[in-house]
Amino acid sequence: MKRSLPLLLLFLLGWYALEAQTPKSDAARAPATPAAAVAGGEIDRVKARELHARFKRGEKLTPEEQTYLDRAVAARGPKQGGGPQRKGPEHLTPLCDMTAEDRYEGEDGGLYGAGRNVPPPALQQAAEAQLARIQPLDAGGKPAAGGRVVFVSISMSNATQEFSAFKELADAAPAKGAKVTIVDCAQGGQAMAQWAQADAPPWQVAKTRLIKAGVTPLQVQVAWIKLANKGPTGTLQAHGRELERDTLAVLQHARALFPNLRIAYLDSRIWGGNANTATNPEPYAYEGAFVVRWLIQRQMKGDPELAEAKAPLLLWGPYLWAEGEKGRKIDQLVWKKEDFVDDGTHPSASGRAKVAHLLLDFFSRDPLAKGWFTAGR
């Protein structure tokens, strides 16, 4: 037995040397990641790189391709330094169902605070003043009977999937004004943090999409912005304030790139209770609504960082969150398992359709939206 030990050691050393010289596939060379745990199987890194390269060139991915690319991003795990993700309470009350007396992490209810789901009088007056200024503009940003009112989206994969479905629905709807041009500028993998620098790639992609649509940045007057960051961690005050800072930068950059931008309708995510990745599970998806409200309230209080010279006027878009199949009191909105793809985070065809119809109903009916959306129909 003692004589055979050196032979065994030599064999093992030779085997390891041979392994070191043998070329590996990308998957074999790659370090271990949480990819295997991501619903839908392991990530094909070559495919993910190809999709990412297409995305960086400004190509628009299909909803399925965007979902795959986001799965690859999510497989890298949450960003470091923010602490572990936490589990929220078993029951979360939709912000629109909360009263002035209700509390969540010290926050009261209502989209606009104090239990209110409609803008207070001062904000309504400010919004009406901005809405009155929205009119068809030519390519140089001057009023023109034959001009356009351009409506863009800004945000990440969920937003582009939902807004693309909305655009298709709205473009065929009698309610949309003939001079309104809808351009989906939201992009897979590009959450608020990725838009937070003025020279960040998503802004160039947005300009490219405007050119392809036959319009210019000077014609953009309305935006829909969905607030989210990838892999949030920590408390509401921790991840929420970070999202608030990033979104503030996005709003200011949008105002600089689109000098005629009058109104930005803000939204938070849809329900994240089915999520099986770290991209944006509950309670983070739910808590994004408070960030929307913080920014609106800051502007109402006269924060100079959100003055008209630096940012568009902020309003809520249609509130999209409901507690899964429990729904919410204000209407019949529910989120079912079939409304999501296999990661439980991105909307399926039925989920995208739900958001698309909520958006169309809002922009064609809300008193602080329908004026510009339906004009000239």
Whether the CB-CB separation of 45 and 27 falls below 8 Å is answered with yes
Residue 138, both tokens: 């030519």
**CA dist 83 → 9, 90, 232, 278 (Å):** 44, 21, 9, 13
Residue 263, both tokens: 């109104």
Residue 74 has a pLDDT of 59
Query: One-letter amino acid identity for 83?
Result: G
Query: Cis omega (within 30 of 0) on the bond before 283?
Result: yes
Residue 41 has a pLDDT of 67
Whether the CB-CB separation of 369 and 130 falls below 8 Å is answered with no
Whether the CB-CB separation of 185 and 205 falls below 8 Å is answered with yes
Residue 304, both tokens: 């100079």
* Helix, strand or coil, per DSSP, at residue 256: helix
E-only strand ranges, the chain: 149-154, 180-184, 220-226, 263-267, 313-316
Return phi, psi of residue 153, to 5°. Answer: -110, 150
E-only strand ranges, 216-368: 220-226, 263-267, 313-316
**CA dist 29 → 14, 32, 39, 46 (Å):** 20, 9, 22, 12
The b-or-e profile of 97-129 (16+ CB within 10 A means b, else e) is bbeeeeebeebbbbbbbebeeebeeebeebbee
Query: One-letter amino acid identity for 233?
Result: T
Nearest CA-CA partner of 87 in 281, 336, 269, 344: 281
Longest dimension (CA), the chain: 96
Residue 339 has a pLDDT of 98
Whether the CB-CB separation of 155 and 225 falls below 8 Å is answered with yes
Residue 117 has a pLDDT of 98
Residue 329 has a pLDDT of 95
**CA dist 377 → 8, 146, 365, 368 (Å):** 84, 14, 14, 17
Local confidence pLDDT in tens for the 377 residues of the chain: 444 444 434 344 443 443 343 333 333 333 333 333 344 567 887 788 778 767 655 567 787 787 787 777 656 544 433 456 788 889 999 999 999 999 999 999 999 999 999 999 999 999 999 999 999 999 999 999 999 999 999 999 999 999 999 999 999 999 999 999 999 999 999 999 999 999 999 999 999 999 999 999 999 999 999 999 999 999 999 999 999 999 999 999 999 999 999 999 999 999 999 999 999 999 999 999 999 999 999 999 999 999 999 999 999 999 999 999 999 999 999 999 999 999 999 999 999 999 999 999 999 999 999 999 999 76
Return phi, psi of residue 132, to 5°. Answer: -65, -20
DSSP 138: -
End-to-end CA separation in angstroms for the chain: 92
* Helix, strand or coil, per DSSP, at residue 297: helix
**CA dist 74 → 61, 97, 232 (Å):** 17, 31, 12
